[in-house]
Structures are given as structure tokens and as C-alpha cells.
Structure 1
Amino acid sequence: MKRIEKFIQKYHMLTCGDRVIAGVSGGADSVCLFLMLLELRKKIGFDLIAVHVHHGLRGEAADQDQQFVEALCEQHRIPLEIFRVNLESIAKKRKQSLEEAGRMVRREAFDSVCQKYGGNKIALAHHQNDNAETLLWNLSRGTGLDGLGGIRPVNGKFIRPLLCMNRKEIEEYLAKRKQSYCIDETNAETDYTRNKLRHLVLPILEEQVNSAVVRHMNETMEQIWELQEYMQEQVEAAYQECVQEHFEKACWIQIQQKSFETFPELIKKMVIRKGMEQVGGKKRDLSHKHVDVMMELMNKQVGRTLDLPYEMHAKRNYEGIRLEKQRTYSFGEEKKAEIMQECMSELNIPGETILADRNLKLRCKILEKPKNLSIKDIPQKIYTKWFDYGIIKSSLYIRTRQAGDTIVIDEKGHQKKLKNWFVDEKIPKEVRDSQLLLAENNEILWVLGHRMSQAYQVKQSTKWILQIEVETYKSDGGKENGRNNS
């Protein structure tokens, strides 16, 4: 227990007055986490709320897990929020694996409970064996410095107090307290790659290489965390010196070759990666290969260009490299829309999208439509809207107006050009070019702060709802709720 306390203190995980949301599946790891948080609750002075997600996958076994968690929380008088979902249906709908969909559903559940209780910390039960598996997984698939660090003990509001313990120590802790727990029989299967690492690869390393391999791998990752913090400081300083951002009326950056070339090779590569993440809006699918071709472009003649993921386009110019985001929209006979020089942000669905230049945060959730939904149940707030998720066919973007934009204005499906709608609604000319829109290609789903498209309204036939909330966002990490209280 003392080791846990020292680990929590080292990474500043918990303080007096926190409201901690803990994921409790009923397995050994989460039960251990639950009991340790119970012990620390009075000593540190925080509130504890438990969350259990029933994925609808394992029949009676899953029902028994839920009953176990209910009894555990009732015994210790801890509030419990239960979420029952059909994970297979959700995974199919979102075109995700069960593992990925499950992770996202749990994150949505945590976010929901955080909102309900004012939670500011989410405690997860990852331990050293999980981290060792993650490191092997990342190494096997190819990774950079971030991947070598595995799972971080603190990542935003997520905390992982058990990352200083291995699975054997967790089971010993529960045995000493004669505390039972649930066993998920699917964890013993080797159909999934992660399970193969757990049951086949790690045991061989422990038996034939070093019995303390898990501990040694975690010690190495802890050194990587320290290195990452230092490197982030260096990269941020270099980025500020050699990159000019243009995100107010456009979406591009200029990497200045003269100052860029003064930095070491590793820093230059990390600056390029940061630039791509800033313009593209995502980290996923940006690999070292994309960084390498950008490095090569810097040494090529002026005028050479390069296409990158997320509709990014790089061009070698006299100053260095200009990296911008651009998108082609298909409408009519697949004509290319006129792309206005405005920054577009793809919505993270589900998840959060931050528009730093507008000081806004958009929070997206996927909800299953209640069976007896009435019109009065649909939010009527100006900055909280429900959309029929089933008819959305491609990515959604928050952007400003573009040529060809239309909006459906009635139940019969009549469309109106957005520029005409602006005139009819007497939207001032000086704000039309900066008015934020939610768009799917050239169809406008929502003129933020004004009307929704009639085509995307929730109907009786709707099965899944996309809920979008807009909040005022402070860059210092705080938030104001004025946007979604109207």
C-alpha cells in the first residue's frame, strides 16, 4: 500500500477535494483498484463513484459480473452507475473491432458520469503486465518515442494508480484480504493478439529470459516518460522558433528552413510531426514514413509538392515548407468545390474536438434512441443538438461557408442555398464568412447558434442519436459552460 501511495504522490494523481470516477468490471484488477481507493479516500479526502459497463457479450456471466459489482458497491456504500450496451451492434455500426468499440463505449460512460457528478479524475486499473503487453504490441507494429513509453500513469483526467504493481501482486493483495472477484473466461483465450502476448509471449520471456522481465520493462518505460517530458519541452521551443501558424482565417503552417536547420535531426523530425498533427487534427495514421518524406521535401527544389493523410498538402517554397489542409467535395457531377482558405476541423465522433482559435470545445456522443422518445425529450438548447446518426454517411467537419453549401429547410426535403438562407434570416454580412457550420460534404447539418437541417432531425425511424454539445473552452485548461446553458 505504501508503494501505491508513493506512486500516486510522485505523479500527483489525487488531491483533497477530487471527485474520482473508477471503472469497476469486477475482475481482479478493478476490484484491487476499488479497494485501494477506498483505503485512500479518507486519508486523502476525495469522493469516489464507481462505473460498470455491461457489454452484452457474455450472457449470464456478464450479468453475474454486474451483480457482483452492485453488491460490492452496496457493501461499501459507494455510488454506482451501470451502463448496459449491445457492443456487437455498436461495433458494427461504427465499423470498429469489438475491442476498439468497447474502449470507446467505456470512455463515453466515464465522460457521462463525470458530467453528472462533476468528476475530475477517472481511475483505471491498468497494471505493469498491461504495460509490458502494450510495449511489446507497439514494438511489434512499429512505434516512435511515444509508443516506447507504453501507458502513461497520468493522461489528462485519466489516472492509473496500479502501474506500480504486477498481476501477481494484485492477486496476492486480494488473497490476503480474502476478497473474491470475477473471472472473465475470454481473457484466457488466445484468439486475440493481445491475449497471445499475455499468455504465450510474456510467459516465455519470464521463464526463459528473466523472471523479472515485466518489472524491468516498466522501469525502462518510466525512464522513457522522463525523457518524453524533456523532449516535449525542447520540441515546443523549437516549434515556436521555426514554425508560423495560420489558423485564424486559414489552416496552414510555414516551416522556416533557416531556423529549422539549426536543430538536431531528432528535434526536426518531432517538429514536423507536431506540425502535421496540428494541421491534420489527428495523430493516428501519421507514421515515421510521412515524417521522412517531409524531411526529404525540405531538401528538394522549390515547387515540389507532397500529399499526406487527412487531406494535407505540403509544398516546398523559398522559405521552407508550407503545410496546409485542403479537401475536395463531390456534389452534382463530381465537380470540385471552391475551397475557401478557412480552417476545417474534423469532428471526433465520439469524443471531443477543440477549436482553439474560437475558444470552443465540441463534445460528441453516440446514444441509443429511447423506445418511447417524445419530442419534449429532445434537447431544445441552442448549443446542444441531436442528429439522426444513421443517415450520416461520411466525416463531419466544423468549418465556415464554401461555394455550393445548401441546407434542407422543411420536412419535404426542399433545399436552400446557404447564402440565400443567410439573406432570408438577416444574418449580418460581416459575420457570414466567419459563421461556424457543421457540414457533411456540402450539406449543412447545423448553423451553430441558429437552425439545424430538417433532413438530420431525430425521427421515429432513428436508431442511433449523435449528440453534440458546444462549450466555451479556455486554453489554460478550464472551461466555461455559457455556450450550452441557453
Structure 2
Amino acid sequence: MHKLVSRVLDHIINNDLIRRDERVMAGISGGIDSVCLFYVLLELKEVLSFDLCAVHVEHGIRGESSRRDERFVRALCEKEHVSLRVFNENVPELARKQGLSLEEAARLIRYRDFDTALTEAGADKIAVAHHMNDQAETFLFNLIRGSSLRGLSGMSPLRGKIIRPLLNCARSEIEEYAACMGLEYVTDESNRDESYSRNRIRNSVIPQLERVSARTVFHITKAGDFIREADEYLQSQADELYTECVTKAGRKGPCVIDTESFNTAPHILKGYVVRRILKEQSGRWKDISSVNIDDIIGLCEKQSGKRIELPCGLLALKTGDRLKLGKKEDLRGGPSERPRVEFELADYGAHMGFPEKNYTKWIDYDKIKNGLCVRTRREGDRITIDSELHRQAFKKYLINEKIPVNERDSLLLVADGSDIVWVIGGRLSEGYKLGPSSERAVIINVIGGLNNE
């Protein structure tokens, strides 16, 4: 067994890339990397007991050269008795229609076709030929253009159904293996075109860096691995912050950030949370930059009524101690789901404690004078604002809290006569809070609307 095949076998086993009796589909372009991958998997399929098939995407970019690559791959698979699925696409047309670069459009179509081929063939995994040099190129490309830790962490050996068996191999090792085995392959002449940024990095930048250190590619790849570990840890911490601070109106509605608790979190975690919200609201990253993320974090600390127009038709709006982030039409008075409010009577003792949540509140049942109802504001409403039970006209409260005028009439309130018990999603009246002598509680739970469902 060639030393490269042995290294790939260890990589597959250590990262659990292929399991016994799985069907693996190799993505073959016809270039040296994918042909190497194809023959390595051919050798290992008996060792690991898996079935092998293949897919080729002809992108329609390079004319006769592209069709030559297709003919080569067809002949290769026929020679080795491996079933092949071929897709013929028009990438330039898609790029023009969607305003994408040729590289972006080609990648979009390629992975779409991979998904289709996996389903058609009943395959479990799609193997692609990315290697260590590709990792280094991606790291440098993202570093130069400005990237989060996620972009610098590079590619993972396993992502969903995509596996990368050659990721621990350098290009020089692949070239040595191809020469040793006498493999034939085609050469994509566009790889020499340095009008493409990645080609300049591959053909000019990395060779210059290797003059400083021959192990440049290895060291960059290891740095990417360390960054991936850090990114995964920070993401787990940010997910906890998201759960604590963010509520959402249904599956596709705007998100609401509780800025009071959000603002106390470390800046880096706030960035992760905002990125997650932006991805959920826009469905893509294109046109969204780190400047947009920093602007949103800054808006969380500004006065009520401030707003920011964002790419992808999004809007961020500061309202009191909340920040709403979503599609413009959803934040400018479009139709929204009204939440359902439920009341539950429960026994209470001071030793019990109760959960502090934005959309679940516990109040003292015996402090209710008339009966609870859910409504919007009325003339004469008042709210108790401190532990000494000072009362304030609700109109003045709204002014002091800097609630925008156009939102005041739509605020949902739990009221007891003219006394405001709770501004839903916001302040709870001091006059209805549980105390040491409380014996019975009303649990108010809001379901739907701008809370987590």
C-alpha cells in the first residue's frame, strides 16, 4: 500500500468518514486531485467494505475543454467499472441571472447536483478532493478579504454528507502518488489564470511564503485546526446567550434581543449571536459584513427609536430595552401573529423561588383587585414603578422608557382595572410582585408572537 493511501486510510478511520456497507460517491472533475481521490477510494473500498460510484459536473464554462474533461471522466469510470452520473450545466447563465461570480455560481450548482446525485444513487456520502493546500489557500483568501473565526477555521473532514479524505495530504504528495502510479488526468487551463484570486494565492503567494518556511502549508493548516476548536467552543457559548436573550415571532418572524442582558455579554459572543440572527433572517451571508454586525451591537446600547437599514432587506430597530431585527415589512406595521396569554393559579411559598423569563411572569394572586385582562393602553392607566409603591401615569412611563410613539398603542398589557400589571415582554409592576408573605401565585405565560415557541 502506497504511503499516501495509508495516510488517507488513517484519516478516514480517525474521523469516521466512511462506515462499513456505505455507498460513497466520488466527485470527479478529471484533474489530478480528483483522479487521485478516485484511485485511492478504489483501493480502499475492499479494505473498508464500501461501494463506490461517481459524479461529474460539466459547468459549461470552458467550451470544448470542459467537454473534453467529461469524455475523460466517462472513459475513466467505464475502464474501472464504476457507475457515473453526469450533469451538464450553464454556469455563466446562472451567474448572470443571480449576480454571482463564476466561482460562486459553479460551486452553487455543483453542490446542488451532488445532492441530486446522492439521492438518485442512494449514496450515503459524497467524497470531494480538497487537500491540505486547499485549506491553506482558503485560510489566506478569507484572511485577506476579512473574515470571522469561522472563515479562518477552514474545511472540516466531515460536514453533513460531504467527506474530504485527502484533507491531511499536501499537493506535493498527491503529485508524487500520481507519478508513482502512472495516473492520467486532465489539466484545467483556467488554473493558471491569475485574474482569479485563488489562483494568485496558489501560484504566487504560497510559493513566496514557502521560501520563508518550507512547512508553510502545514503550519497554516494546523492554525486553522486550532481556530476551528476555538470557534466551536465560542459557538456553544453563543448558543447559550442566544437562548437567554433572543426571542422570535414564529419560524420566519423577526427576532427580538433583550438588550439589558445582551449588553453585559463579551463582545465576541454578541457577534456570534448577531451573525446567527442575520443568517436566520436573510438566509444567506452575501452582502453582510462585519461592519453590519458591529453596527447592530452598537445599536443595542443606543436610545430607543434608533434604527439601521441593513443589506438583504433587513432592518434593526431599538425599542425600549429591546432590539428588533427582521425584514423591513415585518417591522413596519406588517401583519404579525398576536400572542396567546395563559393564566394559571398555583400555591406559593417564599422558599420555592420562580423562574425569571421574559415571557413568563409570576404575580401575587391576592394583590389582584378587579381581575386580569389582556389589552392595549387606555386613558387613565397607571403603573407602580418602585418597591415603595410609587405610581406613575402609564403615559409618562412610556415617555420615560423612550418607547416610540408609533408603537405605544400596539403594546400588549396585562391589566387589573386601570392598573398595569405587566407590559408583556417588558416591565412587571412592583405592586403585584411576590413577597415573603405571598401564599398564592398567578403564573402568566405568553405563547406565540415575539416569544420562543
TM-score (norm 2): 0.69
Deviates more, 1:192-201 or 1:310-319: 310-319
1:59 Cα deviation after fit: 4.2
Contact persistence 2:245–2:261 (CA under 8 A)? yes
Query: How far apart are the structure 1 equivalents of 2:307 and 2:195?
Result: 44
Which of 246, 249, 254 in structure 2 is aligned with 1:246?
A: 249
1:160 aligned partner: 164
Secondary structure at the counterpart of residue 161 of structure 1? coil
1:262 Cα deviation after fit: 3.8
Greater relative contact order, per chain length (Cα 8 Å cut-off, separation 6+): 2
Which of 65, 85, 109 in structure 1 is aligned with 2:69?
A: 65
Query: How far apart are the structure 1 equivalents of 2:63 and 2:275?
Result: 45
Query: How far apart are the structure 1 equivalents of 2:169 and 2:275?
Result: 33
Q: 1:307-346, CA deviations, whole angstroms, 9 ceiling, x for partnerless residues?
A: 2222222222233312222339xxxxxxxx973227xxxx
Query: How far apart are the structure 2 equivalents of 1:269 and 1:125?
Result: 33
Query: How far apart are the structure 1 equivalents of 2:112 and 2:90?
Result: 14
Which of 116, 132, 139 in structure 1 is aligned with 2:143?
A: 139
TM-score (norm 1): 0.64
Contact persistence 2:287–2:312 (CA under 8 A)? no
1:44 aligns with 2:39: no
Query: How far apart are the structure 1 equivalents of 2:323 and 2:202?
Result: 44
Which of 183, 191, 206 in structure 1 is aligned with 2:210?
A: 206
The 5 A counterparts of 1:252-267 are: 252-267=254-269
Contact persistence 2:56–2:87 (CA under 8 A)? yes
The 5 A counterparts of 1:111-122 are: 111-122=115-126
Contact persistence 2:275–2:293 (CA under 8 A)? yes
Residues 216/191 of structure 1: CA separation in 2 closer, same or farther (3 Å cut): same
1:205 Cα deviation after fit: 0.9
1:124 Cα deviation after fit: 1.0
Query: How far apart are the structure 2 equivalents of 1:55 and 1:165?
Result: 27
The 5 A counterparts of 1:318-397 are: 318-327=320-329, 339-341=334-336
Secondary structure at the counterpart of residue 163 of structure 1? coil
1:479 aligned partner: none
Secondary structure at the counterpart of residue 166 of structure 2? helix
Residues 96/318 of structure 1: CA separation in 2 closer, same or farther (3 Å cut): closer
Secondary structure at the counterpart of residue 320 of structure 2? coil
The 5 A counterparts of 1:410-425 are: none
Secondary structure at the counterpart of residue 322 of structure 1? strand
Residues 42/121 of structure 1: CA separation in 2 closer, same or farther (3 Å cut): same
1:367 aligned partner: none
1:95 aligned partner: 99
Alignment gaps of 5+ in structure 1: 329-336, 343-486
Query: How far apart are the structure 2 equivalents of 1:241 and 1:57?
Result: 48
1:14 Cα deviation after fit: 1.4
2:307 aligned partner: 305
Residues 339/257 of structure 1: CA separation in 2 closer, same or farther (3 Å cut): closer
1:281 Cα deviation after fit: 2.5
1:133 Cα deviation after fit: 1.3
**Runs of at least 4 residues off by over 4 Å:** none
Secondary structure at the counterpart of residue 309 of structure 2? strand
1:226 aligns with 2:229: yes
Query: How far apart are the structure 1 equivalents of 2:90 and 2:283?
Result: 30
1:13 Cα deviation after fit: 1.7
1:183 aligned partner: 187
Tell me how many residue pairs correspond in the alignment. 334
1:380 aligned partner: none
Deviates more, 1:186-195 or 1:87-96: 87-96
2:273 aligned partner: 271
Deviates more, 1:133-142 or 1:181-190: 181-190
Which of 8, 14, 22 in structure 1 is aligned with 2:12?
A: 8
1:300 Cα deviation after fit: 1.0
Residues 49/277 of structure 1: CA separation in 2 closer, same or farther (3 Å cut): same
Residues 291/44 of structure 1: CA separation in 2 closer, same or farther (3 Å cut): same
Query: How far apart are the structure 1 equivalents of 2:273 and 2:288?
Result: 13
Query: How far apart are the structure 1 equivalents of 2:6 and 2:52?
Result: 20
Q: CA RMSD in A?
A: 2.3
Query: How far apart are the structure 1 equivalents of 2:157 and 2:36?
Result: 17
Identity rate, percent: 41
Which of 74, 77, 83 in structure 2 is aligned with 1:79?
A: 83
Residues 258/92 of structure 1: CA separation in 2 closer, same or farther (3 Å cut): closer
Deviates more, 1:25-34 or 1:92-101: 92-101
1:199 Cα deviation after fit: 0.9
1:40 Cα deviation after fit: 2.1
- The one-letter code sitting in structure 1 at the alignment partner of 2:250 is F
Q: 1:348-368, CA deviations, whole angstroms, 9 ceiling, x for partnerless residues?
A: xxxxxxxxxxxxxxxxxxxxx
Secondary structure at the counterpart of residue 15 of structure 1? coil
Secondary structure at the counterpart of residue 45 of structure 2? helix
Secondary structure at the counterpart of residue 56 of structure 1? coil
2:317 aligned partner: 315
Alignment gaps of 5+ in structure 2: 338-453
Secondary structure at the counterpart of residue 49 of structure 1? strand
